[in-house]
Chains A and B, each alone.
Chain A
Amino acid sequence: MTATDRLVAKLNELADGTALALRVSLASYLDSLRGILEGYAAKANVECIYVTATIPAASIMGALDVLEIKTEHVHFVDCVSHTMLGMVGTKKDDILLVESPTMLENVMLKVEYLTRKIGSQKKIVLFDSLNSLCIHNDVKIISEFLHILVNNMRAKNVTTILLTIEEHGTEDIKSMLNLVCDETLVLDTVTK
């Protein structure tokens, strides 16, 4: 079983409203995105709210396009493009911009907005990645942010996937994930 297969199998067995800590190696990062967006969400008719704090949403869309992964069911919350002023002009309709990754309340508000806009259809929230959020924010405020967000999503039966890159992980991040997540899945190339 490949890492992607393991991830898809895990997502299919999760109860709605679960918070999953997904720890992936750099090498399996794109495979993980394929697993979540194509292997799971597209097949199960699940809408995905994709919060990116790592690279601009337009760049992710470009990469997914190259990989032939469809994004019609993906709604982006982009915390990066505003900090790179020139990138805002590349904004597409399905991308909501947050001015800065430090405006965590606004991230919650955009997620809340999309949750309402999508309505009753099944949905998940994907955070890519906690490592990047930690560059801009204190661990205490991220813990508080995740605690509120995950509980809010849990109350709405929306599954949250908190993605971290193993190579960039710290003990603080691991402790935080242990605190807020119900389940953990570690994916690296070795498990293939």
Chain B
Amino acid sequence: MMVQSVITQKRGDRCVSGIDALDSILNGGVPRGNAVLITGSCGTGKTTLSMEFLIHGALMGENGVFFSVTENSEKLLSNMMPYDFFDESLFTTEKLTIVDMQDIYKKLDLEKIEFSFEDIDKLIKALSEIVRKKNAKRMVIDSITSICFHLKTEEKIRTFILKLGASLRDTKCTSLLVSEILPSDARYSTYGVEEAIADGIILMGNLERRGDLLRTLQVVKMRGTSHSRAKYVLDITPLGILMVPLLKGGGG
């Protein structure tokens, strides 16, 4: 019975991002329940992509929660206003919720430099409870790097992501975990652990070509679906994120 359920899920249950090109790259969307690392350096569009994923979801009837570590909700909302698809009522009707992580830290008495394993359990329980309470099918943590900063050891980071993933999978919640890396980083996450545990990795970058700076996106890994691994160039427009293939000019 369980095997049959997994097969059914693999075949068709996709979380449509609403970003046409990304859904096309992923053959229909993110496999539901996946925890996907959205990784890249600053200014590459990680937060915009994540928020667009939530808004399109909410417009399709799937509630979403955005856990923000780095920006307050007012700033996030004002950044979303220019988009044609932005609908303020999604927030007033609580189809979309922005949660300030600092409030959670305060409530759980986690305003400290390093979290213990008990703290990790408390934090996961709190995040999961919010997801369940809001009946959220989509979740974003922006950024997982900021949370991992409090975990310090590989073991704790691994425990946090695995437990969080398991907890969300039970609710069939698809999550995007925003990861901040430096342009010079040779790996996909700051601590190296996040990328190994995540079900998917979407790498966003700035590509310099003959003095031009292009925003790029590449799906490096995505469990549960075949997908393109090519690099695409993206533009953030009032209609949302648009993408086209990166031209190679015969040079590769």
Residues of A within 8 A of B (CB): 99-100, 102-106, 108-110, 112-113, 116-117, 137-138, 140-141, 144-145, 148
Contacts and interface: CB of A to CB of B under 8 A. Distances in A.
Contacts of A137: 249
B244 A105 contact: yes
Given A102-B210, A105-B244, A148-B244, A113 B237 contact: yes
A138 B242 CA distance: 25
12 contacts: A99-B212, A106-B235, A109-B234, A109-B235, A113-B235, A116-B242, A137-B249, A138-B249, A140-B249, A141-B247, A141-B248, A144-B248
Nearest to B210: A102
A100 B214 CA distance: 11
A109 B233 contact: yes
A116 B211 CA distance: 29
A110 B245 CA distance: 14
Central interface residue in B233, B247, B248, by most chain A CB within 10 Å: B247
A175 to B, nearest CB: 14
A110 B247 CA distance: 15
Interface string B205-246: 000011110100000000000000000011101010011111
Interface in B41-93: none
A100 B211 CA distance: 10
Contacts of A113: 235, 237, 239, 242
A106 B233 contact: yes
Q: How large is the interface on B (under 10, 10 to 19, 20 to 34, 35 or more residues)?
A: 20 to 34
A116 B239 contact: yes
A146 B191 CA distance: 42
A105 B210 contact: no
B249 A103 contact: no
B247 A144 contact: yes
A105 B243 CA distance: 9
Contacts of A116: 239, 242
Given A102-B210, A140-B250, 13 more contacts: A100-B211, A105-B233, A109-B234, A109-B235, A109-B244, A110-B235, A113-B237, A113-B239, A137-B249, A138-B249, A138-B250, A144-B248, A148-B244
B239 A148 contact: no
A137 B249 CA distance: 9
A108 B239 contact: no
A148 B249 CA distance: 12
B73 to A, nearest CB: 28
Nearest to A138: B249
B249 A102 contact: no
Contacts of A104: 247
A102 B209 CA distance: 9
Nearest to A110: B235
A33 to B, nearest CB: 27
A108 B250 contact: no
Contacts of B250: 138, 140-141, 144
B238 to A, nearest CB: 8
Contacts of B239: 113, 116-117
A105 B214 contact: yes
Interface in B88-134: none
Nearest to B234: A109
Nearest to A148: B245
Nearest to B236: A109
Contacts of A148: 244-245, 247
Contact of A103 (B212, B243, B245, B248): B212
4 tightest A-B CB contacts, nearest first: A141-B249, A105-B233, A140-B250, A109-B235
